[in-house]
Amino acid sequence: MKLIVVTGGVISGVGKGVATASIGKILKEYGYSVTAVKIDPYVNVDAGTMRPTEHGEVWVTEDGGEIDQDLGNYERFLDIDISKHSNITTGQVYRDVIQREREGKYLGKTVQIIPHIIDEIKDRIRKAGNNHDFVLVEIGGTVGDYENIPFLFAVKSLEIELGKKNVVYVLVSYLPTPIHMGEAKTKPTQQAIRMLNENGITPDFILCRAPRPIDEVRRKKIEVSSNISSEYIISAPDVASTIYRIPLNFEAENLGKKMLEKFNLGPCRNPDWKRWRELVDNIENPREIFTIAMVGKYVGIGDFQLADSYISINESLKHAAAELGGDVRITWIDANELEAGGIERLRNFDGIIIPGGFGSSGVEGKINAIKYARENNIPFLGLCYGMQLAVIEFARNACSMTGAHTTEVDTNTPYPVIDILASQKKLIEHSKYGGTMRLGAYAAVLKEGTRVLDLYRRAGRLETDGKAMSTMEKFRLGIIAKHMFCKLHNSLDLCNIPSNASVIIERHRHRYEVNPKYIEQMESKGLVFSGHHQKEDGTKLMEFTEMPDHHFFIATQAHPEFKSRFGKPAPLFLGFLEACLKK
Ligand code: GLN
C-alpha cells in the first residue's frame, strides 16, 4: 500500500477535498489505481443526522452510507464508487473499540488510545486501501486541531510500518493577503508546517492556496524557513471558473511526476487530458449558458446563500452543461417565497429543478412551481421529494384528488398518494426509524418506449439492456457481484428481475413511496410511471415518472446526482439540459 496523507493548514475550507481528488485524478491519469479515504474528526458516527445548512450536503454511497460530501468530490473526479467504509469518524472508531471491549475481546487488557484506538484507525485505512496502488487519506479540519491528534499519530504509525518510501505527506495551506498589506503572507503556513513537525511529520508537498499564484519570493521564504525545497511548493490559486481546472493547474507544476518520483515510480502510461481539458474549456468559454431555477428549502442562512447543501445537483448540472458545450447559472429560490404568489418569476428560466427534501417547509411553494412547469411546458426535473411532490401536484390538479398529499406532511389527507409501506409502519411502531429509510443502490426496471429508458440507454448506463440473459452471462458482466455486494447492505436485488428487463441502478435516501393504490388512476390521466423497483416480497416501488406530451417532465425517486461524474453526466441531467437547449 502506498499512502498519500493530505492535511490542511491555517484555516478549514481551504480546498483539501478537491486537492485530494485532483491528486488522485492525476495519478489515475498516469495509469495507477487510486482510492480515497476521508477522516472526519467529529464524534458523530456519520453525517446522516447533520443539518445540511451546517455541514453541507449528505452524500450517499452505493452501499447506503450517509457521508461527508468530500466523498462526492472523490467519486466525481476519480470516476469510481467509494464505499461508506472509506469515511472514518472519531465516533465510529470509539464506538467499535468500546463495543469490542464490552464483548470482552481485549482479554483483560487496559483499553487505551494508544494502541487500541490507533490500531482501529490504521486497520480502517488499510481495509479501505486494499487492492489499490494508492490510497489518499484526507484528514478533515486543520493541523493543530485537538481532535486530529490520534489520526496524525495513526498515519505516522503506518509510516513506520510501510516505510517512508511508501508514504507522502501533503499540506494544503492558506496564504492570506491582508488588504492593508496587499501581500501574501507565509507565516501562518510556516506555523502549520511546524505543527505537523510536532507530530513527527514533515510535509513532502505544500499546496499553497491563495487568491493568486504563489511567486518565487514566497516559495523561497517557505523553503528557507521550513526546510522544504521550493520544487515541492506548489501553487494552488483560487479558480473562479470550475474546480475541474485544478488537476490541470497542478499538472502545469508537474505535481504528478514529482509525486511519483517521491515513491520511486514512473508513469504507467502517458496522461491523456484531452477530453478533460475540452470540458473545462467548455465551462470557461461557454457556447451556451443554461439558466436553471432550483426551488429548494435549505437556501438562505443569514446573509449567505448556502449552495453547498445541493452540491451534487450543482455539479451534475455542470457536468451535463459541459458535455453540451456550456455552463449553468443556477438560481436558488426559497420555496417559501413561492407559496403566496411570485410564481411568474419562473418564466425567466430555461428549466426548473425540485431537489430532495424533508418535512413541510416550503412544500406548497414547490408544488406551485411544479404546476407552473407542467402547465407552461417548461423543462422540469424532480428529484426524490421532487418526484413525490410532482405526483401530489398531478393528483390534485389533474386527477381531481383535492387535498392529496404525502403522509409525511398531512397524516389525515383524503388521498395519501405518497405514503409509507405497511411493512415500514411496523418498524416505525417499534421506533426503528433507521430501518425505514431506503438508502444506497437500488435497481429499477425501466418500461419500454419511455423517455427515461432512452436517456439511460444513450448514456450507456443500462446494466442489462432488455435482452434475455443467462445467469452465466450476468456473472460475466459482474452483475451478480454487484448484486451480492448490495444484498449485503440491504439494498438492490438484481436477481429477482426478469432476465430480459432493462435495468438501471441509482442511489436512494428516502422513506416515503408512491402509494400503489392510486397509480392506475393517475396513469389513466396521462402520467407515466417509467420505472419501478421490485422488492423481494413482490411489492413494486415507483422509481421514475414522466409526462409524454410535455417538453421535458421527468421525476425520479432516486438521487441520480450521486452518480454523475465529470465526463460522464447523469442521463436525466443531460436529457434535462438538452431539452432546455431545444426550447
Ligand atoms: N422526505 C421524502 C422521504 O423521506 C423525500 C426524501 C428526499 O428527498 N431525500 O421519502
> Is 366 a pocket residue for ligand 1 (Cβ < 6 Å)?
no
> Is 356 a pocket residue for ligand 1 (Cβ < 6 Å)?
yes
> What proportion of the chain, given as a percentage, has pLDDT over 70?
89
Ligand 1: which of 439, 512, 513, 562 to mutate, judged by most atoms within 8 Å of the beta carbon?
Answer: 512
Atom number in ligand 1 closest to CA 357: 8
pLDDT of 296 = 87
Atom number in ligand 1 closest to CA 418: 10
What is the 431 CA–ligand 1 centroid distance (Å)? 18
pLDDT of 308 = 58
Judged against a pLDDT cut of 80, whether residue 293 lies above it is answered with yes
Q: What is the rounded distance in angstroms from the CA atom of residue 464 to the CA atom of residue 477?
A: 9
Which of 314, 204, 242 has the alpha carbon at shortest distance from 15? 242
What is the 386 CA–ligand 1 centroid distance (Å)? 9
For the segment 47-51, the average pLDDT, to the nearest whole number, is: 70
What is the 45 CA–ligand 1 centroid distance (Å)? 21
Which of 518, 503, 516 has the alpha carbon at shortest distance from 466? 503
Provide CB contacts within 8 A for 46, sequence distance 6+: 65, 66, 67, 84, 87, 89, 91, 92
Judged against a pLDDT cut of 70, whether residue 497 lies above it is answered with no
What is the 438 CA–ligand 1 centroid distance (Å)? 9
What is the 234 CA–ligand 1 centroid distance (Å)? 43
pLDDT of 344 = 93
DSSP assignments along 171-205, one per residue: EEEE----TTTTS---HHHHHHHHHHHHTT---SE
pLDDT of 239 = 87
> Is 385 a pocket residue for ligand 1 (Cβ < 6 Å)?
yes
Cβ-in-10-Å burial (0-12, 13-18, 19+) of 344 comes to exposed
Judged against a pLDDT cut of 80, whether residue 469 lies above it is answered with no
Band of pLDDT at residue 57, cut at 50, 70 and 90: confident
> Is 357 a pocket residue for ligand 1 (Cβ < 6 Å)?
yes
pLDDT of 488 = 57
Using only C-alpha atoms, the chain has a radius of gyration, in whole angstroms, of 25
> Is 310 a pocket residue for ligand 1 (Cβ < 6 Å)?
no
Judged against a pLDDT cut of 80, whether residue 466 lies above it is answered with no
> Is 562 a pocket residue for ligand 1 (Cβ < 6 Å)?
no
Q: What is the rounded distance in angstroms from the CA atom of residue 326 to the CA atom of residue 193?
A: 41
Q: What is the rounded distance in angstroms from the CA atom of residue 16 to the CA atom of residue 220?
A: 23
Judged against a pLDDT cut of 60, whether residue 432 lies above it is answered with no
Judged against a pLDDT cut of 70, whether residue 482 lies above it is answered with no
CB 73 within 8 A of CB 247: no
> Is 296 a pocket residue for ligand 1 (Cβ < 6 Å)?
no
What does the pLDDT look like over 254-267, one tens digit per residue? 999 999 999 999 99
Written as one letter, the residue type at 35 is T
Atom number in ligand 1 closest to CA 355: 8
Q: Which has more confidence, 415 or 339?
A: 415
The three cell numbers locating residue 214: 504563489
What is the 383 CA–ligand 1 centroid distance (Å)? 9
> Is 507 a pocket residue for ligand 1 (Cβ < 6 Å)?
no
Band of pLDDT at residue 55, cut at 50, 70 and 90: low
Judged against a pLDDT cut of 60, whether residue 306 lies above it is answered with no
Alpha-carbon torsion, ordered 266, 270, 274, 279, to 10 deg:
-30
Closest-CA residue, ligand 1 atom 7, reads 356
Which helix (H) or strand (E) element contains residue 542?
A: strand 540-546
Three-state secondary structure of 46-58: CHHHCCHHHHCCC
Judged against a pLDDT cut of 90, whether residue 167 lies above it is answered with yes
Closest-CA residue, ligand 1 atom 5, reads 385
> Is 509 a pocket residue for ligand 1 (Cβ < 6 Å)?
yes
Mean of the per-residue pLDDT values of the chain = 89
Judged against a pLDDT cut of 60, whether residue 284 lies above it is answered with yes
Q: What is the rounded distance in angstroms from the CA atom of residue 38 to the CA atom of residue 199?
A: 19
Judged against a pLDDT cut of 70, whether residue 440 lies above it is answered with yes
Closest-CA residue, ligand 1 atom 6, reads 510
Long-range contacts, 456-462 (Cβ 8 Å, 24+)? 456/502, 456/504, 456/571, 457/502, 458/571, 459/568, 459/569, 459/570, 459/571, 459/574, 461/504, 461/571, 462/502, 462/503, 462/504
pLDDT of 235 = 87
Judged against a pLDDT cut of 70, whether residue 114 lies above it is answered with yes
Q: Which has more confidence, 491 or 485?
A: 485
Strands of 211-319 (E only): list them: 233-237, 288-296, 300-301, 304-305
pLDDT of 210 = 87
The three cell numbers locating residue 192: 502549520
Judged against a pLDDT cut of 70, whether residue 305 lies above it is answered with no
Atom number in ligand 1 closest to CA 356: 8
Closest-CA residue, ligand 1 atom 1, reads 358
pLDDT of 301 = 55
- pTM for the whole thing? 0.90
Atom number in ligand 1 closest to CA 559: 9
What does the pLDDT look like over 517-546, one tens digit per residue? 999 999 999 999 999 998 877 788 999 999
Which residue segments constitute the domains of the chain, with CATH numbers given?
Answer: 2-277 (3.40.50.300), 286-582 (3.40.50.880)
What is the 476 CA–ligand 1 centroid distance (Å)? 35
Question: Which residue in this structure is represented by grid cell 392510486?
Answer: 518
Provide CB contacts within 8 A for 400, sequence distance 6+: none
Q: Which has more confidence, 276 or 185?
A: 276
What does the pLDDT look like over 180-201, one tens digit per residue? 887 888 888 989 999 999 999 9
What is the 157 CA–ligand 1 centroid distance (Å)? 42
Atom number in ligand 1 closest to CA 509: 9
The three cell numbers locating residue 459: 448514456
- Residues catalogued as catalytic: 384, 559, 561
Q: What is the rounded distance in angstroms from the CA atom of residue 440 to the CA atom of residue 218?
A: 46
CB 511 within 8 A of CB 420: yes
Q: Which has more confidence, 83 or 184?
A: 83
What does the pLDDT look like over 224-242, one tens digit per residue? 888 889 999 998 888 888 9
The three cell numbers locating residue 404: 392529496
